[in-house]
Amino acid sequence: MPLIQQSTYQPPRFLGISHIQTIYPSVFRTVDGIRYNRERLQTPDGDFLDLDWSCIGSKKLILGLHGLEGDSNRAYIRALVKFFNMKGWDGLGLNFRSCSGVPNNLLRSYHSGETEDIHQVIQHIVSLGKYDEVVIAGFSLGGNVTFKYLGEQGKNVHPIISKAVGVSVPVDLTSCSHELAKWKNAIYQRSFMNSLKEKLVHKKDKFANEINFDALFKATTFYEFDNEYTAPVHGFKNAEDYWKQSSSKPYLPEIKVPTLLVNAKNDTFLSDQCYPIDIAKQHKYIHLEMPEKGGHVGFMEHNPDGFYWVEKRIWNFIDQKA
């Protein structure tokens, strides 16, 4: 599939700087007009997933997957759901384990390569018998999960899934982890570390003998955190093994549904390896768009309706106006 050479995204004047694009929407953007109905889905291993629905009686559904330490109430998920509701679609925001505001039951949590949970959610959606079409839109970590899942499914992907979109996706986790460890990203890495460790405080008494919590709480980088917690708890040898096995890039060639990947060239989280130009050039289904600006899950616009470029871009792709 030819690369999308000319992106339509143009940032507001003086707001094209990567850090402004990344931080401002995360801190200041609000999206009103969405009232979720929560459903708790029990998992086979004794845990649960909280699903937040915004239904208008449609036979089409947009499924939004949030990023690292996000949730269904992040502005980019709420805006996605609201926009698609306005277009006549139902919306669903999946909260990964431990991300719904309620601690999950197990020592394990979610991670960048966890696809069993999304598979269960898709099966659940199918079992409802309400929908003819489902589109998955993943942001950052959620995009990596989306692409890895679709690549794993390959030709066996359920036909109800018609298209997929990933925004600001770290498809190569090893190089992105090194990128986030650089001084330019210190504020983001520190924020993620604080949030991740805060969620593990309540697990210390219950699972005190299973991991080294003292070492874990001293972690300041993704390498240290993933080495002490993510890798051993989720069955990987170490951080490098977790990153290698969980990256979606090796799975991209196996994706069999039309897919849009939007990664801004000035995304400070992403490494050069996260722009799979060669794969996209040879792929039947993958459309790669690389706006010059946009930051990480940014793509701000000043519009009276409050929507950003990214919601409209996702809709245009889904509506076959790619």
Q: Which pLDDT score is estimated for 61?
A: 98
Taking the C-alpha atoms of residue 259 and residue 252, their distance in angstroms, rounded to an integer, is 10
Q: Which CATH architecture is the domain 18-171+248-318 placed in?
A: 3-Layer(aba) Sandwich (3.40)
Taking the C-alpha atoms of residue 279 and residue 250, their distance in angstroms, rounded to an integer, is 10
Taking the C-alpha atoms of residue 315 and residue 322, their distance in angstroms, rounded to an integer, is 9
Q: Quick: pLDDT tens for 216-245.
A: 999 999 999 999 999 999 999 999 999 999
Element (H, E) at 206: none
- Convert 159-182 to b/e letters by CB count within 10 Å (16 or more is b): eebebbbbbbbbbbbbbbbebbee
Taking the C-alpha atoms of residue 230 and residue 65, their distance in angstroms, rounded to an integer, is 20
Radius of gyration of the chain (CA): 19
Residues serving a catalytic function are 140, 267, 296
Whether 322 has a pLDDT exceeding 50, the answer reads no
The model's confidence at residue 274, banded by pLDDT at 50, 70 and 90, is very high
For 149, list phi and psi in degrees, rounded to 5.
-60, -50
Token duo for residue 45: 């291993």
The model's confidence at residue 260, banded by pLDDT at 50, 70 and 90, is very high
Domain ranges of the chain: 18-171+248-318, 173-246
Token duo for residue 299: 């793509």
DSSP 4: B
Taking the C-alpha atoms of residue 81 and residue 77, their distance in angstroms, rounded to an integer, is 6
Average pLDDT of span 45-64: 98
Handedness of CA 228, 234, 239, 243 (dihedral sign): negative
Q: Which pLDDT score is estimated for 92?
A: 98
